[in-house]
Homo-oligomer: A and B are copies of this chain.
Amino acid sequence: MIDKRVASLTEALEGIGDGATVMIGGFGAVGQPDALVDALAEIGPRDLTIIANNAGWSAETGISHLMARGLVRKMICSFPKGSEVFKSLYTAGKIELEIVPQGTLAERIRCGGAGIPAFFTATGYQTKLSESKETREFDGRHYVMERSLTADVALVEAWKADRWGNLIYRGSSRNFNPIMSMAAQLTIAQASEIVDGDGLEPNAVVTPGIFVNRVVQVESRVDDLLRAQKAS
């Protein structure tokens, strides 16, 4: 029987070693797999490369929490502003940064999951972010060649899941989660609810279970996180 449910966060995160590349879903707090990320910080693998849109906002939770513990070697993201932890590490030269335009970041991840090693986009042409990159003209317009991104692990948050690993999302919490699920060797989802029986409705599934390896049920803390974010 296919059963991707695991009983604990520790079990869910088993096998993430030093030097791993980890994609983390979410746009700010919404859709961020906070419980998984905080549990990963406890486990403490070192020299991580993190791929995410943001760099977190509080040393107490999420990506900034990983950084505060000294576990992150490199950040690949579009918008690290808002993280004091990242800022101090970065200005001290203690963390690497690769800034990627948000849409290029999304497409590099999607292509990573879709078996496409490289693609062309007009985004970033003649900017500092494409300085070292190959450019090319198609039909009179200029484009930058971008390479896809894959990861050892993706940590994602879903609203509901089933034992086959199918996922659905709430509100604007899809963001990077469906594409990161596709792009990692090991995709681990935290979900507010895991439905029993015949699983989610086939037409409603957003992330098919083929992309998901483990599912763990945890109450979403997005209410708390947004409050904390607001206060910070």
Contacts and interface: CB of A to CB of B under 8 A. Distances in A.
Contact of A138 (B117, B120, B136): B117
A129 interface: no
Contacts of A204: 203-204
Contacts of A114: 107
A17 interface: no
B116 A107 contact: yes
Contact of A118 (B117, B138, B168, B170): B138
A101 interface: no
Contacts of A143: 117-118
A139 interface: yes
A118 B147 CA distance: 12
A130 to B, nearest CB: 15
A111 B121 contact: no
Nearest to A121: B116
Contact of A117 (B120, B168, B169): B120
Contacts of A169: 203
Contacts of A138: 117-118, 147
Top 8 A-B pairs ranked by shortest CB distance? A117-B138, A119-B119, A118-B120, A116-B119, A117-B120, A117-B143, A116-B121, A116-B120
A111 B119 contact: yes
A141 interface: yes
A122 interface: yes
Contacts of A107: 114, 116
Contacts of A168: 203
Nearest to A136: B118
A141 B111 CA distance: 16
Contact of A139 (B117, B121, B136, B203): B117
A18 to B, nearest CB: 23
Interface string A48-74: 000000000000000000000000000
A19 interface: no
A122 to B, nearest CB: 7
